[in-house]
Structure 1
């Protein structure tokens, strides 16, 4: 028995939305399926009307992701939000020929700043009895972007989907209290300092900063930014 099937793959940031219009270099994402018929590429490209899913209060069978978005609110019972796809939600898609039961491997290669990539692999059981496969791959991590400013240590912290950390807006699903951000740097005198960064409420746009005190005005030999999301365990490092 042989079947032609459709394979759809969605890439969801851990704790966030699908990697779409606001993610880092979305058009450079590569998704492949390797199985007995060879290796097939699933195009993952932005279009003019592409979206990265819709956040809502209700779970819709067949279209909502099983991975919720937890909106931390300072209590032990965060608000649970659901990410739902629509006809314009970005995903990779292709048709494959299945000639029998077998195990295939899905692989996604996702670009990150400074030329880095994140590779995710997951097995997928194929059967000629099935004509549609919809797979949701979870993409962990955070995106850090340094923001050099005179007298400041400053870095932008975003979800892998490009969603921003804000406060008090309709899109504030990722409150700054859920994130720990700090800088670790070496000075010319050999000292290594670790400085916590605070959320910049004035800009309210994913920016974390700390003032450079007198001792830190010595030449910085090496600087790293670190960020961690407490609710998900998402973690990232940036060499500035």
Structure 2
């Protein structure tokens, strides 16, 4: 194996330039899809328990990660040539700027008729030591996939408030705190070593790129006769 350590000022500059044009929308879309799956699972498993007995469903209406990308600090790289595997370990810190996630829980309180309200998450903080494992390949696009996890439970917090229904403010703190606790538990259970998540880059590349260009590529031969 080959080891190397370096700082990540260059990565932060690159992330800043790519964040709004490309990365933010991509990250927000993936996060919204994953969050909806988690919330569906929560409502199904926690029905009748604690504050969740009042919640019939939760829809993810919007997720926007805002104006500023995560910041990365000091990185250690380990390359295993036998597996073509590059492991990057770095410190990640994300303090949102312009972050917004809008959830629409459908609630039933006591004898009231079921109603839907808007719950807005306005701030997200996430920091910890991140592992990124790059599975390299000679085939396009050069990276088969990426596995990712935290070395230890990361620091996590959200700030949220309801939009409207001010007369129900006394009931909502339980829902907000329950949501905060849930997300922390999901992160700790699914994103902390030895658990890892895998993102298949090659599959996305083939589905998008090959479909767009009409084939897997090849050699173009041009003869110029003068």
Same fold by TM-score, threshold 0.5 exceeded?
Answer: no
**TM-score class normalised by the smaller sequence:** 0.3 to 0.5
Structure whose residues are more often strand by fraction: 1
Question: With structure 2 as the length reference, what TM-score do the two structures score?
Answer: 0.32
Structure whose residues are more often helix by fraction: 2
Higher relative contact order (CA 8 A, sep 6+): 1
Larger radius of gyration: 2
Question: With structure 1 as the length reference, what TM-score do the two structures score?
Answer: 0.31
